[in-house]
Amino acid sequence: MSRSVALIGAGAMGGAIGTRLAETNTRLLVFDLDPAKVAVLVEKGATAATSAASAAADADAVILSLNSLRIVRAAIFGPAGVAEGARKGTLIIDMSSIDPEATRALAADAAAAGLRWVDCPLSGGAPKALSGQLTCMAGGEPADVEEAGAVLAEVASNFTHMGPSGAGQTTKLINQVLCGLNFLAVAEATALAEAAGVDAAKIPEALRGGRADSAILQEYMPRFASRDYRPTGRIDNMVKDLNGAQDLARQTGIAMPMTVVCAEIHRLLTAVGCGAMDQAALMEFWSRRTPSP
């Protein structure tokens, strides 16, 4: 019999994770406050749940894909939350990106409620989830992390136990610093290429295999060049993660001047209404400041 998994949160990322699980013989129960998002996964074979509690009641593991600490805590410990319905010992796999210290508090509260907790943020976005090639960095007890890896075997091709509770979220913040700076560098380079009359869409192939090459260069410079803003992530989510990295830097006394600039540009775009747009919309930073011909 296939494993039964509850998915709480079926947005852009959760929907992609749910799609992959449904397509790879996982018995999937889904809850999201937006019925339309649930309906998309029901069409792929998932079962709709009326609450997080009811989704968890019949699940061997619960995956969370949510946008903030407040929402994660409410989904687990709020009215009709996972803790009300889950069996004792149920494994919670939190694939959200939240603060490491808050994660440790959630794990402690989950343990007090008889639940097991693995923080398991990800990298690769919706496209990698759909192809089963996510990179996941996990924190928690070794046996729990091993079980989480088995649950996500069809979703993640790179799954690493980074240490105790919170270590996965710390690694994700580091990942986001690297991604945020890379996104911004590639967008800036695209703007320069365009201003200089070079076809930016040809640059990834020209630089393939060289030191400047990266997954973000290959995927995003063509999207930057064509202003392809189809949603696979959100600028305001990057703001949240870079804020978290800056908080951690203050706690550890590390200077991060490039991250500060990167975060400010993301904040500016959020302030002018681009927060819900994909990282590809970083090009709006230059578009809004470049005079028309």
Q: How far is residue 28 from each of residues 97, 117, 165, 212, measured CA to CA in Å? A: 22, 19, 26, 41
Distance, in Å, from the CA atom of 62 to the CA atom of 76, rounded to the nearest integer, reads 10
Q: What is the pTM of this model?
A: 0.90
**Pairing state between β 47-48 and 61-64:** unpaired
pLDDT single digits (tens) 97-110:
999 999 999 999 99
pLDDT single digits (tens) 74-84:
999 999 999 99
Catalytic: which of 44, 88, 128, 172? 172
pLDDT at 216: 96
Question: What SS3 class is residue 32?
Answer: coil
pLDDT at 232 over 90: no
Are the C-beta atoms of 72 and 96 separated by less than 8 Å? yes
Distance, in Å, from the CA atom of 55 to the CA atom of 86, rounded to the nearest integer, reads 8
- What's the mean pLDDT in 167-172? 98
Q: How many CB atoms lie within 10 A of CB 120?
A: 30
pLDDT single digits (tens) 85-131:
999 999 999 999 999 999 999 999 999 999 999 999 999 989 999 99
pLDDT single digits (tens) 14-60:
999 999 999 998 999 999 999 999 999 999 999 999 999 999 998 99
Active-site residue, 202 included: no
Distance, in Å, from the CA atom of 172 to the CA atom of 191, rounded to the nearest integer, reads 28
